[in-house]
Amino acid sequence: MLKRLLLFGIFAASISAQAQREKILKLPSFDKPLFHYGFYLGANNNSYKIGYKPSSISDPEIEVESSIGFNVGLIADLRLHNNINLRFEPGLMSNTKTLRFNHIPGPENINTREVGATYLHLPLLLKFSTNRLNNMRPYVIGGVSYDHNFSSNERNNDDNYAGEFRTTTNNFMYEVGIGVDFYLSYFKFSPSIRGVFAINNEVKYDNKASQWTDPINYLGTRGVFLHLAFE
């Protein structure tokens, strides 16, 4: 019995010590400065939302197949309030999408287009955080961005008749997300899941009426991305 009590006492003491260790705040002064920097990495799965309009094409159907892309960039964070931060997160966002025009008969070079997109992504965001819970802090984030598409081919005179599906160069988007700040020994790690949504129509119509772009009323980026911030 004495042995059991002794073992139980040692076990309870170890649990208590562990609990005490867990309550030790890491980076206790991290959120006090007015301004701080960081960087982020991530992966995205962006597609297109497509809306149709009346045209000479009956029953248009455009299928979008997306692939996994990447995000990378910098973070500038301004503390506005104990629970509100203004963030500027300039970076690059890249991925490739395949459009299949199911209403166009023929081989792949006629009814399939591969659309690459590499954006200079310039978002201005508001981050709303809860009070700190030991070494973690949940938050929601959202804002708007200007996106410059280096791969748009907007100024290219070749259109779909020459095999080029063109999109606009200058675009505006909004994004929303949720995440958690984890305070570690030497830095803050903040994973989040975000959605990005184009505001403007991104399609560049062909030089003359065509079966590729005529049925499209709206084509805009829609996607989700995993955002891993290190601050």
- On whether residue 88 sits in a domain, the answer given is yes
- On whether residue 82 sits in a domain, the answer given is yes
pLDDT of residue 24: 85
Cα–Cα distance, 112 to 99 (Å, whole number): 6
pTM of the predicted protein model:
0.84
Cα–Cα distance, 168 to 149 (Å, whole number): 7
What is the 8-class DSSP label of residue 89?
-
Q: How many domains does the chain have?
A: 1
Containing 109, the helix (H) or strand (E) segment is helix 108-111
- On whether residue 126 sits in a domain, the answer given is yes
Cα–Cα distance, 116 to 122 (Å, whole number): 19
pLDDT of residue 190: 97
- On whether residue 181 sits in a domain, the answer given is yes
pLDDT of residue 12: 43
Q: How far is CA 152 from the centre of its chain?
A: 19
pLDDT of residue 225: 94
- On whether residue 87 sits in a domain, the answer given is yes
Mean pLDDT of successive 10-residue stretches along the chain, which has 231 residues: 44 46 79 95 95 91 94 97 97 95 90 94 97 94 97 93 95 96 95 96 95 96 95 96
pLDDT of residue 77: 98
- On whether residue 23 sits in a domain, the answer given is no
The CATH number of residue 216's host domain is: 2.40.160.20
